[in-house]
Structure 1
Amino acid sequence: MKRHEFLRELHKVTANRNYLEIGVNDGRSLTLSRVPSVAIDPAFKVVTEIRCDVHLAKATSDDFFARDNPLVHLRGGRHPLRQLARNRSPLAYWRRTTLDLSFIDGMHLFEYALRDFINVEKHSDWASVIVFDDMLPRSIDEAARDRHTNAWTGDVYKLIEILARYRPDLVTVLVDTQPTGQLVVFGADPTNTVLKDKYEEILAEYNVADPQKVPETVLERASAVKPETFTGAGFWGPLVRARNRGTKRSRGWEPLRRSLEQLGGAR
């Protein structure tokens, strides 16, 4: 299954009510969304028809998330001053927006992808689904930090190890999509600051010169789950119902974790 086919299936099984995308490029992934969306890219060149209500932000993801209320569009696009002028309560406007489905496909260097995750997690919760693209490079050359190939994943694959090491509270699933795999993350905790606190430490350890020593398990896709197995799993219905009911983490996360851990590639 190709990456965009997989993303199409994720939009179905997550029944997401909103969508965030980092790295728009020509819009081929954004065109899959049918819900209120936010898409971020400093140099997008959309050539595909977009069929959703979208805020297309021409900015780096760091700059975008530094804005006040960056996800205002997902609250219905109402400006708070206009809302107050109409004698409406601002409480609904300022209530925290939680992302249902996020796709991270920005700059192909691990430190950028890590910052993207840190920012996205602040607006997510245990029932959110966060997807990293290009996590299974096919060669050492394709995984180089200094791009010298046509197809290029960069070293974002390092997030597999970084999340497993620093955030064992999360569950991650490698998915064997074509051409370069994806990593799906569950259990986000917006109150957790470990990655932010340890960012400089992580950067010092993992920012190494080419050629990268890509683990054989990554190159061979040893623990990656077939996309059809993943999207056809039985936990999606309970996850969606719990999310829509506003089920608290204390009640919803452990059943989901147990279901995820039954998948061969879950960590």
Structure 2
Amino acid sequence: MKRHEFLRDLHKVTANRNYLEIGVNDGRSLKLSRVPSIAIDPAFKVVTEIKCDVHLVKATSDDFFARENPLAHLRGGRHPLRNLARGRSPVGYWKRTTLDLSFIDGMHLFEYALRDFINVEKHSDWASVIVFDDMLPRSVDEAARDRHTNAWTGDVYKLVEILNRHRPDLVTVLVDTEPTGQLVVFGADPSNTVLKDKYDEIIAEFEVPDPQKVPETILERVPAVRPETLLSAGFWRPLVRARNIGAGRSRGLPPLRRALAEYAVGG
């Protein structure tokens, strides 16, 4: 299954109410969305028809998330009546919006993808689905930090080890999509600051000169599951139901972790 086919079906099984995309390029992935969306790219060149309510942001993702209210398009503005009903001032009140589905396909260097995840997680929760693209390079050349091939994943594959080592509370699933695989992350915790706190330490360890020492398991796609297998799993409906009724992390995450155990990297 190709990556855009997998992403199209993720929109269906997650029944997502909103969508965020980092790395728009020509719009081939954005065109799959039918819900309020935010799409970020400093140099997008959309050439396909978009069929959703979208805020196209021509900026770097770092600059976008540095804004005072980056998800304003999804929130629909201020909600003063709710505050007034509680006897509070309406000024400066924003209803928190949680991202249901996010797709990270920006700059193909691990430190950029890591910052994107840190920023996206702040606006997510345990039931959010976060997807990284280009996680299974097919060769060392394709995984180089300094691009010298037509097809290029860069070294974002390092996020697999980084997340598993520093954030074992997350559930990560590698998916064997064509051409270069994807990583699906469950169990986001917006209160967790480990990656931000250890960012410099992580960069110092993982930023190394080419050629990259890509693990054989990544090159051979050993830990990756078939996309059809993940999409047909039985946990999606309970996940959507729990998300929509606002089930808390302590109630919703444990059964999700059990359901995902057979698919998770290292699980």
- Report the TM-score range of the alignment, normalised by the length of the smaller protein: over 0.9
Looking at structure 1, the residues matched to 170 and 96 of structure 2 have their Cα atoms a distance apart, in angstroms, of 22
Which position in structure 1 is the counterpart of 2:64? 64
Q: 1:192-235: CA deviations, max 9, x gaps?
A: 00000000000000000000000000000001000000000000
The 5 Å alignment of 1:31-110 reads 31-76=31-76, 78=77, 80=78, 90=90, 94-110=94-110
- Structure 1 residues 102 and 264 mapped into 2: Cα distance closer, same or farther (>3 Å)? closer
Please say if residues 80 and 91 of structure 2, whose CA atoms lie closer than 8 Å, have aligned partners that are also in contact.
no
Partner of 1:258: 258
Tell me, which stretches of 5 or more residues in structure 1 are unaligned?
none
> What is the deviation of 1:243?
0.2
The equivalent of 2:121 in structure 1 is: 121
Moved segments of 4+, more than 2 Å: 87-93, 262-267
* In 1, Cα distance between equivalents of 2:192 and 2:134: 25
Q: Is the 8 A contact 2:172 2:264 kept in 1?
A: no
- Does 2:172 align with 1:172? yes
In the TM superposition, what is the alpha-carbon distance from 1:262 to its structure 2 partner? 2.4
Distance 1:263 1:123 in 2: 25
The two structures have a TM-score, normalised by structure 1, of 0.95
- Does the CA-based 8 Å contact 2:144-2:154 persist in structure 1? yes
Q: 1:73 to 1:260 in 2, by over 3 A?
A: same
CA contact (8 A) 2:18 2:101 kept: yes
Can you list the C-alpha shifts for 1:173-209, whole angstroms capped at 9, x where unaligned?
A: 0000000000000000000000000000000000000
Q: Deviations over 1:68-88 (max 9, x none)?
A: 110000012x3x4xx769x98
Whole-Å separation in 2 of the counterparts to 1:142 and 1:235: 34
Counting only pairs closer than 5 Å after superposition, residues 227-266 of structure 1 correspond to structure 2 as 227-263=227-263, 265=265
For the residues of structure 1 that align with 2:264 and 2:25, how far apart are their CA atoms? 32
Tell me the distance in 2 between the aligned counterparts of 1:42 and 1:88.
Answer: 39
Matches of 1:184 and 1:63 in 2, distance apart?
24
Question: 1:88 and 1:72 mapped to 2: Cα distance?
Answer: 20
Normalising by the residue count of structure 2, what TM-score does the alignment of the two structures yield? 0.95
Q: 1: distance between equivalents of 2:154 and 2:21?
A: 19
What amino acid maps onto 2:168 in structure 1? P
Cα deviation code 1:28-56 (max 9, x no counterpart)? 00000000000000000000100000000
Q: Give the unaligned 5+ runs of structure 2.
A: none
AA partner of residue 250 (structure 1)? S
CA-to-aligned-CA distance 1:145-197 (integer Å, 9 cap, x gap): 00000000000000000000000000000000000000000000000000000
May I ask how many residue pairs the two structures share in their alignment? 262
